[in-house]
Amino acid sequence: MEIRYIAPGKIPLHLKLRRQLTQYLCVGEHYGLATIDWLVLAGDPSGACQCTLVRSIDEGGGLQFAVPEFPTIAAEIEAEPPAQCTGSLAECLDWAKAQGGSEDRFGNLASLNAIYRDLVEQGIAGN
């Protein structure tokens, strides 16, 4: 599947329509668990935005490629709430950059899942 990213100038429109945008960051390890680290950017018609860092426990491979359905570190280890930023789009994009993200790499959930599938096929994730 070809990965299609949202043009930075189109992000406000997607958020006003209440679409959640995602961005793959990396394969990581937290508390001894393999994770897929990604961002979710959400907004509303008023212009308020929220960007959240999600660390999904890598349980995939095989036939499971739906990253948002994986359990998360925040849910499994109650002491760690998800890191997030709430504010204007500019504030959330700056925060996303500080987490290793980029304003030109946001896509939809299908894009996130396609990236994960590619990582599994390359032997980088899903082991």
How far apart, in Å, do the first and last CA atoms of the chain sit? 21
Provide φ and ψ at 12, rounded to 5°.
-55, -40
Say if strands 49-57 and 84-87 run parallel, antiparallel, or are unpaired. Answer: antiparallel
User: What proportion of the chain, given as a percentage, has pLDDT over 70?
Assistant: 92
**Mean pLDDT in residue range 99-116:** 93
Confirm if 60 and 111 have CB atoms less than 8 A apart.
no
pTM: 0.89
Whole-number pLDDT of residue 59 = 82
DSSP-based helix, strand, coil % in the chain, nearest 5: 30, 30, 40
Residue-wise pLDDT tens digits, 21-52: 999 999 999 888 899 999 999 998 788 899 99
Whole-number pLDDT of residue 61 = 65
Whole-number pLDDT of residue 78 = 61
Q: Which amino acid is at 88?
A: S
Please choose, from the candidates 36, 30, 37, the residue with its C-alpha nearest in 3D space to the C-alpha of residue 79.
Answer: 30
